[in-house]
Amino acid sequence: MLCSRAPGKILLFGEHFVVKGEPALGLAVSLYVKTCIERGEGKIYSKQLGLIKPSSQHWPLFEAVFNSVEARFGEIPRVDVVVDSEIPISSGMGSSAATAVSLTHALLSFINVEFTKREVQEIAHEAEKTVHYRPSGVDTTLATHGGFLYYKQGVFKRLDLKLPANLAIVVVNTGIPRQTGVVVREVLERYERLGRIGEYIYRAAGEIVENGIKAIENNDIDKLGELMLVNHGLLWAMGASSEECDKTVYELIRLGAIGAKISGAGRGGIIIGLTRRENLEKIKSGLTAKKYEYYIVEPDYQGVTTI
């Protein structure tokens, strides 16, 4: 059996605003999808979802990866696939992208061909189109390469950044499902209604990304946290938040986080917070007491790898 794993992701800054040409900053984090492959009968099994059958809504992602690999590298022997995901599904953390990337990497390693990470990313991105109509490529890029990713107007730039070592990332899953397409459409409708006001908000969001990068470079922890809160406020102003999202942000700040915000489409999904490590136990205790589902994650600078 051969296994590969790929990381999930968070968006530190910029979601929604990228649609109108502003930048975003993503980071791969240490929640993983592990995919294992061995010779078998063509079965696909998820430890979280059970047996994936051709009638399943999840089947097209796997089928697309197999078809793309065969088209590029030739016939594949019959194999069984086992997927084990730590990433909460439909939370905005890129679970489907990490699945596609880890599957592609494991499959190419299993059939023992020479390949590059770029090829892994390309195959996984094509497969992602079966899940998301027009994926940006941010999720598959981060799952493949890890680290920080700057995205603007369809252009990706990997940044040689490291999060300050005394910071920890808290990911809180609200557990609230949301329809990403609906949220994106309604945010854009508000942007159009607001006219120049909307333009100013989006321009401010772009400045936050650039200032956030500088804050990381300068280890300016307090500035980084403040920018996260302002970014959340702009997302709220554009209708991307909800009462539960806001309550979660307030709770993280009350417990001592330096910053917190929506990560992803909003109105549910995940909230991310940054905290100094010396305050981490207090935050964990507080979230546990209020029965929040949360994860403490680290940056992943490696991307997909065989394990």
Rounded Cα distance between 33 and 101, Å, is: 9
Does the domain formed by 167-297 have CATH 3.30.70.890? yes
Amino acid 133: pLDDT: 62
Q: What gap in Å lies between CA 307 and CA 106, rounded to an integer?
A: 9
Using DSSP bridges, classify how beta strands 79-85 and 44-46 pair: parallel, antiparallel or unpaired.
parallel
- Pick one of 3.40.50.10210, 3.30.230.10, 3.40.50.1370, 2.70.98.60 as the CATH number of 2-160: 3.30.230.10
Q: How many CB atoms lie within 10 A of CB 54?
A: 9
Residue 270: what pLDDT? 95
Q: For residue 38, give the H/E element and its range.
A: strand 24-39
Residue with tokens 């299993």: 110
- Joined together, the tokens standing for residue 212 give 């956030």
The pLDDT of residue 82 is 98
Query: Which uninterrupted H or E stretch holds 12?
Result: strand 2-13
Distance (Å, whole) CA 33 – CA 212 = 28
pTM over 0.75: yes
pLDDT of 191 reads: 97
pLDDT score for 181: 81
**HSE-up of residue 199 (Cα within 13 Å, Cβ side):** 2
Indicate which residue of 139, 220, 246, 300 is catalytic: 139
Q: Which residues pair with 259 in a beta bridge?
A: 274
E-assigned strand segments in 116-238: 148-152, 155-159, 167-173
Token pair for 194: 């607001």
Provide the 10 A C-beta neighbour count for residue 165. 8
Active-site residue, 139 included? yes
Domain residue ranges in the chain = 2-160, 167-297
**pLDDT per position in the chain (307 positions), as tens?**
999 999 999 999 999 999 899 999 999 999 999 999 999 999 999 999 999 999 999 999 999 999 999 999 999 999 999 999 999 987 889 999 999 999 999 999 999 999 999 999 999 999 998 877 677 889 999 999 999 999 999 899 999 999 999 999 999 999 888 778 889 899 999 999 999 999 999 999 999 999 999 999 999 999 999 999 999 999 999 999 999 999 999 999 999 999 999 998 899 999 999 999 999 999 999 999 999 999 999 999 999 999 9
- Quick: pLDDT tens for 175-202: 888 778 889 899 999 999 999 999 999 9
